Every structure is written in structure tokens, then in C-alpha cells.
């Protein structure tokens, strides 16, 4: 199946983007490892987060998921049970890597796999420090790729310096550290998103942070609690760019999480000249939240690199779209991590935007976009990558003729209602869908 995105008018109105994907994953995991009941409000019921729910159920955790509300009867640190089947993380790298940290602390055998895309993504960056802590792994390429067999238990604390800034690596080690006696320390070259350490503290663990270093004390007594998940800024980014590039647009995005480790996209769009106003700033469940108003503006090219990259790594595909509509040249560097996401996002975003007439060149660690040219219609593919697919939908907003996107179903990984919301904001009744022959 494919969809055709028509060139249309401005985007106007209000939108509440889905709950933050990163926080939703972590809330379910910590709720499972806590004692007592945890209620999650604003949960992202996308395929990735539901993979985490399914795996925890297989590990013996009672989880009731109903839309945006999830109820968990926590089993405590020592309450998980050996699964009687293979755990499947689907397309979710967060599910796989964080669960590897949890499984490392369990005194039983388990096997973890994922879909074809996830089985190609690197896991050695996680299994290496977890092996140092005492966990055992067996799998392809010396336990660097899924499927992985895991035998955990009897972990020792670790003082670990990560070679890259990655919240998934950091989280996996911190999660494993909860099962060890003593203090586990993780250092990063740059600070990655800090949802794990915030939520650890909220559930009752002893956590200390200093710059790019995080320490967790092992064997905490986590207690179930209410978690209110803010809107995902990674999902909001698509509408921030769409409203910026389509003349006459004026959008209000409600209840968006503005964790400082995630707001690089706002910084870059601001530097590009976007008309963005942050309103009603507040804190909910330990996370900063606000409303964001965005209106059309003339954008200009910028350079993106260095310490800001971990704060916007997931937003770089849609920022490539913003760059295509901006005047001047945009350079993205220090972003080689894009090559090991759901797809090789450097190659894919370059190839697919190129099909629409964007002057974009791939580099080893990023890309260069010469903006200001006219985009035209055509057929493009998200290559099974939800963020690429949504970025291409945004690119189509200002194209000269309609754009056809092959296989849009991957969008459901993080934003099941994306197309419906996009059409509502554009004043369209429904997407036009064309079945492939």
C-alpha cells in the first residue's frame, strides 16, 4: 500500500503529539521492577513501546495496557521469571538494549531477537560492558547481533566510560547496575538524554549526576508510582518543521516534553530563523513540559555538529527537510550514529530527498544540503524507517506536485495517528491511499 500526499494549504490549529517514546519504554520497565502498582498516563501505544510491554509480560509482569493508560503490578528487582519462549523486541532498539541490561541481572536463561532491521543493528556496544559486569551472551558475530542468548545473575558493579554518547548504552549499564551490590558509574563523551536517571530517582533509586557522569547505587528498593508521560518532542519536530516551511501556517503543540537533553531541534530551528514561542513552561513527573507555538518563517542554512548532536539525533532527518526549504547551505557533521539507526539514515535521507529534487550530498558522518531549490513530486520510500517516512511526508508539503510514499505502515512504530493528524491540520478529510498492483 502507498499514500499520496497532495500539495495543500497551511497547517492551522492545535495538536497533542503522542507520549514520549523514550519515557514510555522506561516507565514500563521501571514499573515492572518496582514494588507495588504503577500507573502510566500518556503512554505511547505505538508498536515499539508495545514490544516492551509484550516482553515484560513474558517475564511474568502483570501489565494492563489500554490506549494511553497502562497499569503495572510491579514484581520487584527479583520477581522476574524465566520466559518460556523467545523475547521479541520487534523493530525497537530501545526495547532490545534496555532489556539486555535487565536480563543481565536475572539468574535465568533467555533469548532476545527482533525483526530483520533490528537484527542488523549493533548490540556489541551494549553486550561488551554488560559482559564486564558478569553477564554471558551468545550470538552472531561474537554476540554483537541479535538473536542473543543471555545468562545473567551475580553481577558486579562497573565504572564504565562509553566511547559514544548513547542513552541506550548508558541505560543498559545503569539497569544492570541495579542488580549489582555497589555503585555503577557511566561516563559519556557528551551528555545523552537523561530520562533513565530522572526516572530512577523518581522511583526511589539513589542516583548522582555530575556533568556527563551518572552513578547509581545497586539493589535499590523501587516503589511504584504515577507517571505522566509528556508529548514526544521527536514527534513534535515534524510539525515544527511543517509549520515553518508552509506559508500561512500557525500551530500550537500542547504538552510537549522539553527535557534539556532533547531540545536541540528547538535550538537549531531557532538558529535557522524559525518563529517558535515556548508557553506555559512547567514540570510534570520530574520532566519539563510546555506548549509550543510555531508559525511560518523564512529559514536559513546553518551548521549542525559537536555537542548538540546527541540532543537531536532522531530529529536530523526532518531537519534535512527544513534545510531543503531554507536559503543557503546546511552542514550536518559528527552524526555517524545515524548510520546504525532503523536504517542508514545518512544514505536513505540523501537518496530519498534527492528523488524530490533536493540538492543533498552524503558525508561519512552527516550530509550537506544546498537549500532554496524547488521540490517536485515523485515516488519515495521510507525504507521501513518511521522517522524517514514521516520526514518525507513533511517534505511533500511544499512540493510542486503530489508525492507518493510507499509502505507508510512503518509510521505506526512511533506515531500511529500521524497521517490523520497531518491531514486534519491541513483541513483535509482523509488521506488518499492507492493500493499497489
pLDDT tens digits, one per residue of 358-392: 999 999 999 999 999 999 999 999 999 999 999 99
- As beta bridge partners, residue 227 has 40
Q: What is the pLDDT of residues 223-274, one digit of tens each?
A: 999 999 999 999 999 999 999 999 999 999 999 999 999 999 999 999 999 9
- Chain-centroid distance, C-alpha 260: 15
User: By percentage, how much of the chain surpasses pLDDT 90?
Assistant: 95
First to last CA, the chain: 9
Which H or E run includes 403?
A: strand 403-406
Residue 19 has pLDDT above 80, yes or no: yes
Indicate the SS3 state at residue 359. strand
Q: What's the CATH code, domain 21-228?
A: 3.65.10.10
Looking at residue 60, its pLDDT comes to: 98
Q: Can you give the pLDDT at residue 7?
A: 82
Q: For the residues 45-64, what does the mean pLDDT come to?
A: 97
Q: Is the pLDDT of residue 342 over 80?
A: yes
Considering the chain, what is the average pLDDT of its residues? 95
Mean pLDDT of 315-320: 98
- Is the distance from CB of 389 to CB of 395 less than 8 angstroms? no
Query: Rounded to an integer, what distance in angstroms lies between the CA atom of residue 334 and that of residue 351?
Result: 20
Give the range among 46-60, 349-363, 414-428 with minimum mean pLDDT: 414-428
pTM exceeding the 0.85 threshold for the entire prediction: yes
The pLDDT value recorded for residue 8 is 78
Residues of the chain with CATH 3.65.10.10: 2-18+230-434, 21-228
The span from the CA of 155 to the CA of 153, in Å, is 6
Cell (9 digits) for 257: 516534553
Q: Can you give the three-state secondary structure of 36-49, one letter per residue?
A: EEEEEECCCCCHHH
Could you give phi then psi for residue 133, rounded to 5 degrees?
-85, -10
Q: 346 with 339: CB under 8 angstroms? A: yes
pLDDT tens-digit readout, 172-192? 999 999 999 999 999 999 999
The CATH homologous superfamily for domain 2-18+230-434 is Enolpyruvate transferase domain (3.65.10.10)
Per-residue confidence band for 429, with pLDDT thresholds at 50, 70 and 90: low
Please report the pLDDT score of residue 114 as a whole number: 98
> How confident is residue 436, by pLDDT bands cut at 50, 70 and 90?
very low
Q: Catalytic positions, please?
A: 314
Q: What is the rounded average pLDDT of the residues 402-419?
A: 94
On the question of pLDDT at 285 being above 50, the answer is yes
Mean pLDDT value across residues 211-228: 97
Q: For cell 503529539, what's the residue?
A: 17
Between CA 143 and CA 125 the distance in angstroms is: 10
Q: How many CB atoms lie within 10 A of CB 67?
A: 7
Average confidence (pLDDT) over 32-39: 98
Residue 433 pLDDT level (bands cut at 50, 70, 90): very low
CA of 125: how far to CAs of 62, 144, 218, in Å?
31, 8, 22
Whole-number pLDDT of residue 432: 44
DSSP 317-344: HHHHHHHHHSBSEEEE-S-GGGGGSSS-
What is the model's pLDDT at position 437? 28
Amino acid at each position: 500500500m502507498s499514500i499520496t500526499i497532495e500539495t495543500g494549504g497551511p497547517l492551522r490549529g492545535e495538536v497533542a503529539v503522542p507520549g514520549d517514546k523514550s519515557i514510555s519504554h522506561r516507565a514500563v520497565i521501571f514499573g515492572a521492577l518496582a514494588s507495588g502498582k504503577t500507573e502510566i498516563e500518556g503512554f505511547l501505544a505505538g508498536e515499539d513501546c508495545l514490544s516492551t510491554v509484550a516482553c515484560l509480560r513474558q517475564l511474568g509482569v502483570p501489565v494492563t495496557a489500554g490506549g494511553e493508560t497502562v497499569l503495572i503490578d510491579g514484581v520487584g528487582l527479583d520477581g522476574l521469571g524465566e520466559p518460556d519462549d523467545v523475547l521479541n523486541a520487534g523493530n525497537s532498539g530501545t526495547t532490545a538494549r534496555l532489556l539486555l541490561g535487565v536480563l543481565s541481572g536475572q539468574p535465568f536463561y533467555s533469548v532476545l531477537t527482533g525483526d530483520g532491521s533490528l537484527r542488523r543493528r549493533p548490540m556489541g556496544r551494549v553486550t561488551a560492558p554488560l559482559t564486564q559486569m558478569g553477564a554471558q551472551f551468545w550470538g552472531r558475530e561474537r554476540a554483537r547481533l541479535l538473536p542473543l542468548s543471555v545468562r545473567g545473575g551475580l553481577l558486579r558493579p562497573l565504572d564504565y566510560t562509553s566511547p559514544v554518547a548513547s542513552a541506550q548504552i548508558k541505560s543498559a549499564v545503569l539497569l544492570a547496575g541495579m542488580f549489582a551490590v555497589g555503585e555503577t558509574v557511566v561516563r559519556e563523551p557528551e551528555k545523552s538524554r537523561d530520562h533513565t536517571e530522572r526516572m530512577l530517582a523518581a522511583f526511589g533509586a539513589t542516583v548522582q549526576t555530575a556533568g556527563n557522569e551518572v552513578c547509581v547505587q545497586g539493589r535499590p528498593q523501587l516503589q511504584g508510582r504515577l507517571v505522566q508521560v509528556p508529548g514526544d518532542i521527536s514527534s513534535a519536530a515534524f510539525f515544527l518543521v511543517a509549520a515553518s516551511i508552509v506559508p500561512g501556517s500557525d500551530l500550537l503543540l500542547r504538552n510537549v516534553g522539553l527535557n534539556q537533553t532533547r531540545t536541540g531541534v528547538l535550538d537549531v530551528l531557532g538558529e535557522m530563523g524559525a518563529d517558535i514561542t515556548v508557553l506555559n513552561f512547567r514540570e510534570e513527573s520530574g520532566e519539563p513540559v510546555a506548549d509550543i507555538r510555531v508559525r511560518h518563517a523564512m529559514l536559513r542554512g546553518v551548521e549542525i555538529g559537536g555537542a548538540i548532536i546527541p540532543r537531536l539525533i532522531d530529529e536530523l532527518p526532518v531537519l534535512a527537510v527544513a534545510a531543503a526549504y531554507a536559503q543557503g547551505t546546511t552542514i550536518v557533521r559528527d552524526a555517524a550514529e545515524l548510520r546504525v539507526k532503523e536504517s542508514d539514515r545518512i544514505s536513505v535521507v540523501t537518496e530519498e530527498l534527492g528523488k524530490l529534487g533536493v540538492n543533498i550530498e552524503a558525508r561519512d558522518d552527516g550530509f550537506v544540503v544546498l537549500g532554496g531549490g524547488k521540490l517536485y513530486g515523485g515516488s519515495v520510500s521510507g525504507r521501513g524507517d518511521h522517522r524517514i517516512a514521516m520526514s518525507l511526508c513533511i517534505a511533500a508539503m511544499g512540493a510542486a506536485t503530489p508525492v507518493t510514499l510507499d509502505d507508510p505502515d512503518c509510521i505506526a512504530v512511533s506515531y500511529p495517528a500521524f497521517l490523520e493528524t497531518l491531514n486534519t491540520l491541513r483541513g483535509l478529510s482523509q488521506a488518499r491511499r492507492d493500493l499497489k498492483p
